[in-house]
Amino acid sequence: MTLSLAGKTFVVMGVANKRSIAWGIARSLHNSGARLIFTYAGERLEKNVRELADTLEGQDAFILPCDITKDEEIEKCFATIKEEVGTIHGLAHCIAFANKEDLAGEFVDTSRDGFLLAHNISSYSLTAVAKAAKELMTEGGSIVTMTYLGGERVVTNYNVMGVAKASLDASVRYLAADLGKHGIRINSISAGPIRTLAAKGINDFNSILKEIEEKAPLRRTTTQEEVGDTAVFLFSDMSRGITGENIHVDSGYHILA
């Protein structure tokens, strides 16, 4: 058993720029010998993803759009991937969104639309994508999604995204129960805060980073690289006995009261 992913193909969903967690996962996958397929949402990101993919030596990345809020788009995206490569061996789901006004103030004030939007993009999209990807995982596979501590306990300002992550975390367990018989594992990585484009939507983000540097057991914040390396472990045979699990890559912060 090795961490090598040579000869295997993985779909990475959610690269926005070089600071994205999805890009950290893509780089670790590439360094482990994987072939990569990138999907992005919104034409304006295609150039970013192409430029980043071109920096991966010897990687012949396939890049295509996928708006995960539309079932027909997901179907078309995976039909295209099936034509291009036939079989995939794993998928990284690094997609979430909530309206900025729902990431501040009090959770009790969340609108119905804001609640549904956050759950549609940040939680249901995993189930929709897993259903489509399952058909291409003819040799089994491994799915990894990104979650956060705010789905396990109250983190100020995380609000509706925390409730959506709780839904995502439960989805990982129910999907693991369904997909195991097809040789498909599904797990989550709970990453400590990283300064990404998404983090710009979080009020007072800097104070959280400072608190982590002062209090986390490892006394430092989390990097895209270490999240990427844990993803490679979850995509590799080294984690063949693990499904429905969540691994905290957060310098140990979650163990503190």
Tokens 């030596």 label which residue?
Answer: 57
Pick from 200, 214, 241, 257 the residue near ligand F9T by CB under 6 A. 200
Contact 12, 66 (CB under 8 A): no
Q: CA 158 to CA 242: how far, in whole Å? A: 28
Find the shortest distance in angstroms from Cβ 95 to ligand F9T.
Answer: 8
Report the site for ligand F9T in 7-66 (rule: CB under 6 A).
Answer: none
Contact 66, 74 (CB under 8 A): yes
Assess 163 for contact with ligand F9T (CB under 6 A).
no
| Annotated catalytic residue 40 | no
Find the shortest distance in angstroms from Cβ 121 to ligand F9T.
Answer: 8
| Annotated catalytic residue 158 | yes
Find the shortest distance in angstroms from Cβ 180 to ligand F9T.
Answer: 26
Instruction: Please identify, using beta-carbon distances, which residue of 52 and 202 lies nearer to ligand F9T.
Output: 202
Q: Binding site annotation covers 98?
A: yes
Q: Which residues contact 124 (CB under 8 A, 6 or more apart)?
A: none
Q: CA 206 to CA 131: how far, in whole Å? A: 37
Q: Binding site annotation covers 130?
A: no
Assess 141 for contact with ligand F9T (CB under 6 A).
no
Pick from 38, 193, 229, 234 the residue near ligand F9T by CB under 6 A. 193
Contact 38, 26 (CB under 8 A): yes
Find the shortest distance in angstroms from Cβ 198 to ligand F9T.
Answer: 3
Assess 151 for contact with ligand F9T (CB under 6 A).
no
Assess 175 for contact with ligand F9T (CB under 6 A).
no
Contact 133, 185 (CB under 8 A): no
Q: CA 123 to CA 121: how far, in whole Å? A: 6
3-class SS string, 183-219: CEEEEEEEECCCCCCHHHHCCCHHHHHHHHHHHCCCC
Q: CA 255 to CA 17: how far, in whole Å? A: 31
Instruction: Please identify, using beta-carbon distances, which residue of 28 and 147 lies nearer to ligand F9T.
Output: 147
DSSP category for residue 140: B
**What does residue 171 show for φ and ψ, rounded to 5 degrees?**
-60, -40
Assess 98 for contact with ligand F9T (CB under 6 A).
yes
- The CB-nearest residue to ligand F9T is 201
Instruction: Please identify, using beta-carbon distances, which residue of 80 and 127 lies nearer to ligand F9T.
Output: 127
Residues that bind ligand F9T (CB under 6 A): 96-100, 103, 148, 150, 155, 157-158, 161, 193, 198-202, 205, 208
Active site (catalytic) residues: 148, 158
Q: Which residues are annotated as a binding site?
A: 14, 20-21, 95, 98, 165, 194-198
